[in-house]
Amino acid sequence: MLPDLISAWPLDAGHDVRDEVLAAYADPERGYHDTTHLAEVLGRIEALAQAGTTFERLPVLLAAWFHDSVYDGERDAEERSAAWAEESLPALCDAATVAEVVRLVRLTETHRPEEGDAEGCALSDADLGILAAPAQRYAAYVAAVRTEYAHLDDATFTEGRALVLADLLDKPRLFHTGFAVEHWEAPARANASRELDELRALLV
């Protein structure tokens, strides 16, 4: 069950910031990176915690809130999302937490945390967990991503999407936490590999 996003905000204050971020995710121009995506990422973070994965919850949760707060299909969205967090959070959190949130948001551009980076591994795994979704949800995810790049012609999108998937599949592991490796790695690789094969067939 997806979390209620209003109650899932991890701070006692800053409800105006929460509402602004939620409004960004609820933009009707978005496809995949919407409020459902935010709720799913937060749900996966909770699943990791319940499975015994150790990480500092507050910065990871806040980074999840901000990681796609800016998403318009253009470059540097992660950097602009990080800038929003850096601007909005100092009145609500200590400086170390703000810096960690900003670092984590930037990390979602590559999804390549260091193995000892507990917070980065948790956030990256929660964000990429969609790759392990059942077939129907994965198909809906792929279709929603395409709508976010409606400004691109099919050939350009297909080539770009194939590059993204190939880059992810080149990682030794898609996931970094023990729970995600055990439960999400195999189905995620199967889904992403199948999609990549289909895209490459279109490029021939």
What would the mean pLDDT of 5-22 be, rounded to a whole number? Answer: 97
Instruction: Indicate the pLDDT class of residue 1, thresholds 50, 70 and 90.
Output: low
Contacts of residue 66, defined as CB under 8 A and 6 or more positions apart, other chains included, come to 21, 81, 82, 84, 85, 101, 105
What's the mean pLDDT when you consider all of the chain?
Answer: 96
Mind listing the pLDDT tens digit for each residue in 62-110? 999 999 999 987 778 999 999 999 999 999 999 999 999 999 999 999 9
* Per-domain boundaries in the chain: 5-203
**What CATH topology corresponds to 5-203?**
Hypothetical protein af1432 (1.10.3210)
Mind listing the pLDDT tens digit for each residue in 35-64? 999 999 999 999 999 999 999 999 999 999
Share of the chain above pLDDT 90, in %: 93
d(CA 99, CA 189): 32
Q: Report whether 174 contacts 98 (CB < 8 A).
A: no
Q: Report whether 108 contacts 67 (CB < 8 A).
A: yes
